[in-house]
């Protein structure tokens, strides 16, 4: 690496003061066009480029936002949903000339330590937390030190004091369940996720409401909250089919699980979608690639990411702005995984 040219070198060569060079850098109106030209020419000649670290030190702002992921073993990294959020964040950051700083930890504790480091170490101006989980230490920590942050997902507590971006997961889950009910299904299985996560609770709630409002009783054996992120699809399929009165439709919280369980069902001779209708959430490429292509709730992952970054940046610009929350609308994308329920033992 070549040695670096500093503002002082430029100043010396251009016969001006360092402060003048700094002002040229920020295109201050207090500097004459003539000097600006002169200084810029010298900058070019010397190949000067600003060193951000110097600036950061005095301005106390890094123009960088930190992204906190959930532990990567929770297949967050290989999940296209994560990538798409990242994409949305990335776009918004670019539009506003911000950079991205990523956590790298594999355990809750490691991630927490990294957050402390990046917050206290002033490496970022604000952070986006990509999850909302009960018992999480990161969010309370950020609140306690009054560090600007935005959550992607509804906070576990203190809604009014926290800026967040989310879908209306209760409604979305109710909608997709209603959709199945409209198709004539009544024995609907629900395969949800780890109930530590707010999103899992909301979606279960939505499912419950839809069933209740339609006067359908919820059978416990049809409700599974899968605590691990990589359940055994064979086992899930087996359990469902071995029920005395198996469901005719399934709501999955996770596309990937939906897809693998569908395969397991098909392998057991279940005709999809004729004998089992299946829906899921997120609408990433997983839904498109499933067999049959999955009807899903599009949660607009890119939008989610984009909005959270946009709002964080706004918060950084105007720290006294109110802590609003943004709800991104969801859309049901119909594909080929659902069918009208066949009337069985049809009574005339």
Chain residues in the site for DNA (CB under 7 A): 4, 6-8, 15-23, 25-26, 29-32, 34-35, 48-51, 53-55, 57-60
Tell whether residue 102 is a contact of a copy of itself (CB under 8 A): yes
Phi-psi region of 123 (alpha: psi -120 to 50; beta: other; left: phi over 0): alpha
Contact map string, positions 120 to 159, toward a copy of itself, x by CB under 8 A:
xxxx---------------------xxxx-----------
Picked from a copy of itself, DNA, none, the partner binding residue 99 (CB below 5 to 8 A depending on kind) is: a copy of itself
Of DNA, a copy of itself, none, which one sits near residue 200, judging by CB under 5 to 8 A according to partner kind? none
Kindly tell me which of 63 and 195 has the beta carbon lying closer to DNA.
63
Q: Cα dihedral sign for 191, 226, 257, 326?
A: positive
Q: Which is nearer to DNA, 23 or 185 (CB)?
A: 23
CB of 47 to DNA, least distance (A): 12
Q: Does the protein bind a copy of itself through residue 308 (CB under 8 A)?
A: no
Q: Are strands 163-167 and 249-252 parallel, antiparallel or unpaired?
A: unpaired
Residue 175 engages a copy of itself in binding (rule: CB under 8 A)? no
Q: Would you say 66 and 127 are in contact if contact means Cβ atoms under 8 Å apart?
A: yes
Q: Evaluate the omega torsion of the peptide bond into residue 275 and state whether it is cis, within 30 degrees of 0.
A: no
Residue 184: partners with Cβ closer than 8 Å, 6 or more residues away = 340, 341, 343
Give the tokens for residue 231: 């359940």
- Residue 267 binding a copy of itself, by CB under 8 A: no
Q: Between 58 and 343, whose beta carbon lies closer to a copy of itself?
A: 58
Bridge partner list, 249: 188, 277
User: Should residue 77 be labelled a site residue for a copy of itself when binding is judged by CB under 8 A?
Assistant: yes
Nearest approach in angstroms of CB 97 to DNA is 14
Provide the strand spans (E) within the chain. Answer: 64-68, 99-102, 126-129, 149-152, 163-167, 188-192, 223-225, 249-252, 277-281, 295-298, 325-328, 331-333
**Binding partner selected for residue 94 from DNA, a copy of itself, none, CB under the kind-specific 5 to 8 Å limit:** a copy of itself
How far is 275 from 261, CA to CA, in rounded Å? 14
**Shortest distance, position 118 Cβ to a copy of itself, whole Å:** 8
- String marking each residue 195-224 x if it binds a copy of itself according to CB under 8 A: ------------------------------
Rounded CA-CA distance 60/122 in Å is 8
**DSSP labels, 4-17:** PP-HHHHHHHHTS-
256 binds a copy of itself (CB under 8 A): yes
- Enter the tokens of residue 19: 């402060």
Among 7, 23, 39, 82, binds a copy of itself (CB under 8 A): 82
Assigned token pair, 259: 């897809």
Local structure of 259: helix, strand or coil: helix
Q: Residue 7 binds what, of a copy of itself, DNA, none (CB under 5 to 8 Å, by partner type)?
A: DNA
Q: Binding residues for a copy of itself, per CB under 8 A?
A: 1-2, 4, 49-54, 56-57, 62, 64, 72, 77-80, 82-84, 86-87, 90-91, 93-94, 98-102, 104-106, 110, 116-118, 120-123, 145-148, 256, 259-260, 263, 284-286, 288-291
């Amino acid at each position: 690496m070549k040695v670096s040219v500093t503002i002082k070198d430029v100043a010396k060569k251009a016969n001006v003061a360092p402060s003048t060079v700094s002002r040229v850098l920020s295109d201050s109106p207090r500097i004459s066009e003539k000097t600006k030209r002169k200084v810029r020419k010298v900058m070019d000649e010397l190949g000067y480029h600003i060193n951000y670290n110097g600036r950061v030190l005095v301005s106390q702002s890094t123009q960088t936002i930190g992204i906190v992921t959930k532990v990567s073993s929770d297949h967050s990294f290989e999940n296209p949903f994560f990538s798409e959020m990242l994409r949305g964040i990335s776009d918004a950051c670019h539009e506003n000339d911000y950079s991205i700083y990523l956590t790298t930890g594999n355990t809750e504790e490691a991630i927490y330590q990294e957050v402390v480091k990046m917050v206290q170490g002033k490496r970022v101006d604000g952070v986006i937390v990509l999850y909302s989980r009960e018992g999480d230490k990161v969010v309370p920590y950020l609140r306690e030190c009054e560090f600007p942050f935005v959550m992607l997902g509804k906070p576990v507590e203190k809604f009014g004091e926290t800026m967040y971006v989310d879908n209306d997961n209760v409604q979305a889950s109710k909608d997709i369940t209603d959709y199945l009910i409209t198709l004539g299904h009544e024995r609907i299985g629900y395969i949800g996720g780890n109930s530590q996560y707010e999103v899992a609770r909301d979606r279960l709630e939505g499912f419950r409401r839809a069933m209740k409002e339609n006067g359908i009783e919820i059978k416990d054996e049809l409700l599974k909250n899968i605590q691990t992120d990589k359940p055994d699809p064979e086992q899930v399929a087996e359990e469902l089919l071995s029920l005395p009165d198996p469901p005719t439709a399934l709501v999955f919280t996770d596309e990937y699980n939906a897809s693998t369980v569908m395969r397991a069902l098909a392998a057991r001779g279940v005709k999809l979608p004729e004998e089992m209708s299946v829906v899921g959430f997120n609408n990433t490429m997983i839904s498109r690639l499933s067999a049959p292509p999955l009807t899903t709730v599009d949660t607009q992952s890119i939008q989610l990411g984009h909005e959270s970054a946009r709002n964080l940046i706004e918060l950084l610009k105007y720290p006294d702005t109110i802590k609003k929350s943004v709800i991104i609308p969801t859309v049901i994308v119909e594909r080929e995984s659902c069918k009208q329920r066949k009337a069985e033992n049809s009574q005339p």
